Amino acid sequence: MRATLLALLLLLPSAAGAQGLGGKVTDRLDSAGSPTDRYLDSSEVRTVLHAANESFFLCFRRASGSRAGVGDASVEFTIERTGATSGVRADLGTDLPGLKDCLEAAAAALVFDDHDGDPVDVAYPTVYAVDKKGARVLDYPVVFTRPRPVRLPLLLLPPDVTHGEVLLLERLLTHDAPPQPVEPVSGEEAPDEEAAPPAAGDPEPTAD
């Protein structure tokens, strides 16, 4: 027993050193904060936005004054490669004086990590509640970003291939023939458009 313990103590450091890819999550190349993580993902965007909820909170508090209630607002912007935001726009469910400008200023002040990807479009909807204590942003942990579509990655195509050429190839290679039209029952009209599945190149924004 003691021998086993002694052997384990001696062998453990080398085993720990040998811990490689299967090791810690922070060893992943895209682990947030790692110097090898050069692209923003939605969880990193969400972390910055949630950390800035206090500044959004202040906007709601100032704008609501003594009125109580709930409302919603959406802030949209683009994260440039430098990490700065541009094209900030706030959409308000309920217009309160000064709220739009305040939210836009709060979003414009956000600083993300610089990154090597294309500019990232972000939509951040918030739901807020105003009560006697002031205002708060309800837990609504959704951040919409639009990932870069990877289209036909197994085909090597001319670097200047046009959008139309890619669409046609996707039509040929990934879309099944539309179902044969069904004879309309009396009183109904046959659909005139096929229901095509979404293509890889036109993804819906992802929410986290």
| Interface residue list for other proteins (CB under 8 A) | 2-4, 6-7, 10-11, 14, 17-21, 23, 27-30, 34-39, 81, 116-118, 147-161, 163, 165-166, 168-169, 171-177, 197-200
- Minimum distance between the CB of residue 15 and other proteins, rounded to whole angstroms? 9
**CA–CA distance, 105 with 98 (Å, rounded to integer):** 11
> In 10 A of CB 134, how many CB atoms?
13
- Minimum distance between the CB of residue 149 and other proteins, rounded to whole angstroms? 7
Which residue's CB is nearer to other proteins, number 138 or number 161?
Answer: 161
Which residue's CB is nearer to other proteins, number 51 or number 155?
Answer: 155
Buried b (16+ CB within 10 A) or exposed e, 156-181: eeeeeeeeeebeeebeeeeeeeeeee
- Minimum distance between the CB of residue 198 and other proteins, rounded to whole angstroms? 6
Which residue's CB is nearer to other proteins, number 13 or number 187?
Answer: 13
Cα–Cα distances (Å) from 192 to 28, 136, 170, 181, 196, in that order, read 49, 49, 21, 9, 12
Which residue's CB is nearer to other proteins, number 187 or number 197?
Answer: 197
Tell me how far apart the terminal alpha carbons of the chain are, to the nearest angstrom: 50
Going by C-alpha positions, the residue among 126, 129, 81, 132 that lies closest to residue 106 is 126
- Minimum distance between the CB of residue 10 and other proteins, rounded to whole angstroms? 5
Question: Which residues are bridge partners to 126 per DSSP?
Answer: 73
Going by C-alpha positions, the residue among 134, 120, 97 that lies closest to residue 48 is 120
Which residue's CB is nearer to other proteins, number 21 or number 182?
Answer: 21
- Minimum distance between the CB of residue 131 and other proteins, rounded to whole angstroms? 42
